[in-house]
Amino acid sequence: MLVFAVSCGGNTLDVDVSEVQLPPVKIKRLDKDIFEINTSNIEAETKKLQEKYGDFYSLYITRIVNNGGIADSSYEFQIKQFIADKDMLEAFNDCKKVDAQIPEMEQSFTLAFKRFKYHFSDKHTPNLIYMMTGFNYPSMVVDSTLAIGLEMYLGTDNKFYHMLSIPRYKSMFMNTHNILPDGIRVWMMNEFPYNMNKSDFLSEIIYIGKVMYLTDALLPDVSDTLKIQYTNAQMDYCTQNEYNVWSYFVAQKILYTTNQADIMKYTADGPFTSALSKESAPRIGYWLGWQIVRQFMKNNPETTLEQLMAMEDAQLILTQSKYKPKK
């Protein structure tokens, strides 16, 4: 359910992690702990939640439930109101339907975390929490915690997405298949923030390309469509038009523009890349950056993931990639 094979073998990123020492991932269910709280003794229940979730619980309350936080006089009222809300309660009941998938999800995250430790032995892996955010956050990374907003993955046709007028190009990826790749990608962007030495179009797409290559390394058996949130048709467009799109970027001198409005034309989310055509895939600049980084790593096999993520010069990566899509 969670992964889809992209090759039958020969994937150099599918490393042996059998010797990596890492405890199995256990998902903490803040969504359940909040909605099944004993409302007759909020003070005692709060202490339990603080002990279990640490500083993250205070942050969660401040961002999601009550802007004033736990110390605010309205805290008890706000938390009772949150869990008694008819829509939130119904959404929580939908969230409980993923219970049967938890063991498989824990195994998938455990394997991804082991691959991360294989490549970055000195770095730490996060705690994993499922939560409900009132349809505000698909995921967030705070200190040592990766938190997933479970109500953002209830299924493409969930009634709440219609009620909230979430566009189809977004809701089609709001299902449990996307929890793993979304969580890993967001974690990688937090772990390796933007470090390029320029702020032009090429640097931005190469940075995202590096993040996507990390996602390749941690999820080598997950399909590209899930990693970048494309339909099969959108992925086909990219592969069939790679040469034409790259030639267009070069001819129009887009690669080195620092104009954010121009950059957004090729990187903003949407049903397609508006500057090209309605048949195009969205965020096609990021897809191209991903292919450049893949080609760079293929042509420079001695480069480690640590070295890749430390690289700041997008032009150097492009040059050494010898990227030249076929007609």
| C-beta of residue 115 within 8 angstroms of C-beta of residue 12 | no
Q: What is the per-residue pLDDT for 64? A: 86
For residues 148 and 132, what is the distance between their CA atoms, to the nearest angstrom?
Answer: 8
Lowest-pLDDT choice from 18-27, 58-67, 101-110? 58-67
Q: What is the per-residue pLDDT for 5? A: 39
For residues 165 and 185, what is the distance between their CA atoms, to the nearest angstrom?
Answer: 25
pLDDT digits (tens, 9 = 90+) for 219-240: 999 999 999 999 999 999 999 9
Q: What is the per-residue pLDDT for 2? A: 42
For the range 305-308, what are the long-range contacts, defined as Cβ-Cβ under 8 Å and sequence gap of 24 or more? 305/119, 305/120, 305/213, 305/214, 305/217, 306/119, 306/120, 308/210, 308/213
| C-beta of residue 13 within 8 angstroms of C-beta of residue 216 | yes
Residue 1: pLDDT above 80? no
pLDDT band at 143 (very low <50, low <70, confident <90, very high): confident
- Displacement of CA 306 from its chain's centroid (Å): 20
| C-beta of residue 202 within 8 angstroms of C-beta of residue 321 | no
Q: What is the per-residue pLDDT for 14? A: 87
Please report, for the chain, the start and end positions of each structural domain, with discontinuous segments joined by +.
28-191, 201-321
Residue 8: pLDDT above 70? no
Percent of the chain having pLDDT more than 70? 97
Lowest-pLDDT choice from 76-85, 110-119, 187-196? 76-85
Lowest-pLDDT choice from 68-72, 169-173, 237-241? 68-72
pLDDT band at 327 (very low <50, low <70, confident <90, very high): confident
Q: What is the residue-averaged pLDDT of the chain?
A: 93
Higher pLDDT, 193 or 1: 193
pLDDT band at 114 (very low <50, low <70, confident <90, very high): very high
DSSP state, residue 146: E
Question: Which of 208, 253, 247 has its CA nearest to residue 229?
Answer: 208
Question: Which of 177, 76, 91, 170 has its CA nearest to residue 134?
Answer: 91
Question: Average pLDDT for residues 191-195, to the nearest whole number?
Answer: 97
Residue 107: pLDDT above 80? yes
